[in-house]
Every structure is written in structure tokens, then in C-alpha cells.
Amino acid sequence: MTTLIKADICVIGGGSGGLSVAAGASQMGAKTVLVEGGKMGGDCLNYGCVPSKALIAAAKKAAALKGAEIFGVSGPDPDVDFSKVMDHVAGVIASIEPHDSVERFEGLGVQVLQGYGKFTGPNEIEVGNNRVRARRFVVSTGSTATAPPIEGLEEAGYLTNETIFENRVKPEHLIIIGGGPIGLEMAQAHVRLGSKVTVLEAFKAFGRDDPDLSSVVLEHLKEDGIDIREGVNIVKISKGSDGVYNVMLGEGEALETLSGSHLLVAAGRKANVENLNLEAAGIEYSPKGIEVDARLRSTNKKVFAIGDVAGGYQFTHVAGYHAGIVIRNALFRLPAKVDYSAVPWVTYTDPELANVGLSEAEARKQYGDRIKVLEFPFADIDRARAERKTSGLIKAITTDKGKILGAGIAGAHAGELIHPWGVAITAKLKIGTMASYIAPYPTLGEVSKRAAGSYYTPSLFSEKTRKIVKFLSLFG
């Protein structure tokens, strides 16, 4: 027998964004149904942000023990029990799971259906033996790792972000295909835990980031012992009976075979739009995601899409931001629109790489020569010297009138240091605000104030200023 369930709002996908919509809508009095066929918490909790940062934290502990001699502290090299490291990762996930659990959401008044939903019409989906008819739908199905079309890759098998945290054996030699944030984070974590690591990138590592900032991080990754190869052509991959991966590189007769114990593919993601039967609901989509307007409505105005499946920024915090936009539209009928002018993103390597707003290249494309680029090195910050974290750089972009357009930071705790720049862009502040606040000493955060202050350096120490000071001195 098929059961018909009527709801005010139905959320398809129990990841970060979907859970935020479901919890908010239910607590505001809307009859809410949440549909999830996999694990509650989605990619972020189970395969992404949470486990990766837990693994990175363990790797940092190992690196801290190895690098303590410079502070006059010495001891034996760390003894890494990789299985226990992964126990730590699993423990962190388990500690957060109750917050995202079916039980918690049912306690909030959400009706949770555990299964995969597909549209049967413009305002109805089917989930197992249930049909859900709702006034509004929110698709929050996320994205999945993709693999490049390399001969033999599928037959050989490989790890992705969805499976690497299940591995309990320390890789002797981890080969990573993809030199983006995920690939390089995992590369550094594993090399610090004792694995040999090679990264293969078809184009340029950190290819989407500012080269002045990414070069700071790449230098450290190479110092850690990661073999980063850029502009690589992978010809073929095979796996021997001994379990060893053989990766053939090169072109023509200049071929090289690279052998490794484990293979991780971190070379892009695709939106989870298959099996939703979106055509039945009149929803247009592509492999990049569901087509949405500025209010996150699909071509079926009663169906919204948020997070990775909306085809834009693939960040958990953007999915959370989307959730707020949808709540205002779907429940309160307010025409709230997305504003991506202050979207931050962080790569959690050591040192970190953080950005918000426009990069220098993007700003030049929009404003031409009517911008100013403000830079300041960590090496001139006393706290950075005290902690031996002097390898770093901040880069802020403003208009020639001082409006803040964006900022990027490569250095220790960059992900924390980027926050005030996001606030400044959101509030449409000018650089004078960042330059004039009182920064506590000694802190790494002084780097932001010093960079902002450099906006005024040319005029403050100009010949015109000297003449004014000399003139005023005549009056006693």
C-alpha cells in the first residue's frame, strides 16, 4: 500500500544544507518531511570536512613533535599508529553524529523518511512506499567525486574522499591524482603520518588560487617531502596481483612508471542529479547541477536547490547560507537573493590558504587599473617571529577609493584571520576601518591592520605631507 504524506516543505537530502532547512522550517511551525537514503549529515560529516580536519589535526601533532628542536625542545620522533589515528577520526564523526541523527530531527518535529526520493510530478515525490506531496521542495543532494577518463583506472580501483577514511593501513606510497585543495590536504596529512606521497596534477597545483599566495603553501608542502608533479599526462593505470598500483606517465617514448601502494583520486566533483527524475517536475539541470535563479528556485518555482547540487560553490558554509535564503523565500515569501560577494574558502594545509571576495585577477577583470593591491608579510609580525611562523603573506584588494573587494592570506591560522575581511566586505566597509581599529599586541591578526595601513603609506609619507608638516611647524 502506498501512503500519501502531505507537507508544507519537503527536503531531499540530509546533508548540511538540507538539515538546516529541515530544522529551521519545523521549529518555525511548518509541516516538514526530510528524505535521506544514505547517511545523515551527508558528505561533510561522513566523508569531507569533519574526517579530513580530524586527520589533519593528528598529522599536525606528529609534525609538531618533529619540528620542536628549533624551540630548544627535543625528543624521539613520533611513533604513528595509523589504525589509532583512524580511530580518532571515527571518534570525532561519532561525537557529532547525534546532532545530525534521525532521532534528533524527529524530536524537532521533522518526519524523516529513510530512502531515495524521485519526482513523480511537479509537486510530488515517491520514497519507497510513500508519496510526499508538498507546497515547496528543497533539493539538497550534494555532489560526488568524479574520476578523469584514464585507461585502466576503473579496473584498478581507487580511493576517493568517500572511502579514504575507512582505510586502516598506513599507505607505504600514496599516489594522489589531483592537486587541488582536497588532494593537497590529504597529501600533507599522510606524509606527516609517515607515508611517501606523490601528487599528480594535469595542470597547476592550486590552479584556482592566487599564485603569490599558493606558492607560499606549495613551498612548505614540498619541504614536508611531498613530490608534487605538475603538467602531468597519465597514460595508463594498472594494478598488479601484489596489490601495487602502476601509473604510467609521460608522452611518446618518454614514459615513466610510478608504483604505489594506494591511489586516491581527488580530481573534481559532480552534482548528484541522477535518479531524481527531475524531468517529471519540469526542472532543468546539467552534470554541473540544477539550474537556479538568484532566489535558488529551479525552473519549477516550487522547487529550490541548495548546496553543491545548485551548481555553484561547493562549500558546507555556502550550503548553510543557502538554507537561510530558502527559509526566507519558502516560508515567509520574502524575495531573498544570494550575494556571493563575500564567500570565504579555506584550504587546511599547514600553512593554511584562505580567501574571501575577489582575487587580484578577478578584481582587475572587473575594475581594470582602478584597484590597489595591499600586501604585508608575516615575517614583519612579532607574534609570527615568536612562533617561528614567518612564512606567510596577506594580500588585500581595494578600489582606488578604498572599497574592500577581497583578501587572501597564506600563513598560520589563515582560516581564522580571514574572518574580519569577510565582515568588511559584507558591511561594505572601506579600508580605513581596517586600518584604524586597535589590534592587540602581539597577535597574528596584526597582519590585517598592517596591510590595511599600507593603503595610506604613499600619501602619508609623500613630499606633500612633508611640506604640510614643515609649514605647520612655523606656528610653534
Burial 21-57 (b: 16+ CB within 10 A, else e): bbbbbbeeebbbbbbbbbebbbbbbbbbbbbbebbbe
* Whether residue 132 is found in the same domain as residue 165: no
Q: What one-letter code names the amino acid at 230?
A: E
DSSP 170: -
Residues 6+ apart with CB under 8 A from 334: 328
Q: Are strands 130-139 and 3-12 parallel, antiparallel or unpaired?
A: parallel
Domain-located, residue 56: no
* Residue spans of alpha helices (H) in 28-179: 42-46, 49-66, 82-96, 102-107, 153-156
* Whether residue 206 is found in the same domain as residue 232: yes
* Whether residue 31 is found in the same domain as residue 138: yes
HEC letters along 196-248: EEEEEECCCCCCCCCHHHHHHHHHHHHHCCCEEEECCCEEEEEECCCCCEEEE
Using CA of residue 79, residue 83, residue 84, residue 89, what is the dihedral sign? positive
* Whether residue 15 is found in the same domain as residue 126: yes
Domain-located, residue 93: no
Which residue is it, cell 564523526?
Answer: 93
| C-alpha cell recorded at residue 190 | 599522510
Domain-located, residue 82: no
Q: CATH number of the domain that 219 lies in?
A: 3.50.50.60
How many structural domains compose the chain? Answer: 3
| C-alpha cell recorded at residue 360 | 587580484
Range of the domain at 383: 344-460
pLDDT for 1 equals 80
* Whether residue 208 is found in the same domain as residue 309: no
* Whether residue 365 is found in the same domain as residue 451: yes
**Residue at which a domain ends, from 304, 330, 356:** 330
* Whether residue 369 is found in the same domain as residue 455: yes
Domain-located, residue 377: yes
- For residues 204 and 218, give the distance between their C-alpha atoms in angstroms, rounded to a whole number: 11
Residue 80 CB: number of other CB atoms within 10 A? 17
Domain-located, residue 236: yes
Could you give the 3-state DSSP secondary structure of residue 142? Answer: coil
* Whether residue 171 is found in the same domain as residue 29: no
**Residue at which a domain ends, from 280, 301, 330:** 330
Q: Phi first, then psi: give them for residue 401, nearest 5 degrees.
A: -100, 0
* Whether residue 274 is found in the same domain as residue 254: no
* Whether residue 133 is found in the same domain as residue 276: yes
**Cis omega (within 30 of 0) for bond into 442:** yes
Domain-located, residue 304: yes
Domain-located, residue 96: no
Residues in the chain: 476
- The answer to whether the beta carbons of residues 309 and 342 sit under 8 Å apart is no
* Residue spans of alpha helices (H) in 379-418: 382-386, 414-417
Residue 73 CB: number of other CB atoms within 10 A? 10
What is the DSSP code string of 285-314? EETTEE---TT-B-SSTTEEE-GGGGTS--
Q: Phi first, then psi: give them for residue 4, nearest 5 degrees.
A: -95, 125
Domain-located, residue 338: no
pLDDT in single tens digits along all 476 residues of the chain: 889 999 999 999 999 999 999 999 999 999 999 999 999 999 999 999 999 999 999 999 999 988 888 899 888 888 999 999 999 999 999 999 999 999 999 999 999 999 999 999 999 999 999 999 999 999 999 999 999 999 999 999 999 999 999 999 999 999 999 999 999 999 999 999 999 999 999 999 999 999 999 999 999 999 999 999 999 999 999 999 999 999 999 977 778 999 999 999 999 999 999 999 999 999 999 989 999 999 999 999 999 999 999 999 999 999 999 999 999 999 999 999 999 999 999 999 999 999 999 999 999 999 999 999 999 999 999 999 999 999 999 999 999 999 999 999 999 999 999 999 999 999 999 999 999 999 999 999 999 999 999 999 888 787 888 888 888 888 87
Q: CATH number of the domain that 401 lies in?
A: 3.30.390.30
* Residue spans of alpha helices (H) in 340-462: 360-367, 382-386, 414-417, 419-426, 431-436, 446-453, 457-460
- The answer to whether the beta carbons of residues 423 and 343 sit under 8 Å apart is no
Run of H or E residues at 390: none
Q: What one-letter code names the amino acid at 337?
A: K
| C-alpha cell recorded at residue 466 | 612633508
Supply the pTM of this predicted model: 0.94
- For residues 149 and 362, give the distance between their C-alpha atoms in angstroms, rounded to a whole number: 31
Residue 401: exposure state from Cβ atoms within 10 A (0-12, 13-18, ≥19): exposed
* Whether residue 140 is found in the same domain as residue 165: no
Could you give the 3-state DSSP secondary structure of residue 377? Answer: strand
β-pair partners for 248: 236, 257
- The answer to whether the beta carbons of residues 207 and 232 sit under 8 Å apart is no
- The answer to whether the beta carbons of residues 306 and 296 sit under 8 Å apart is yes
* Whether residue 409 is found in the same domain as residue 353: yes
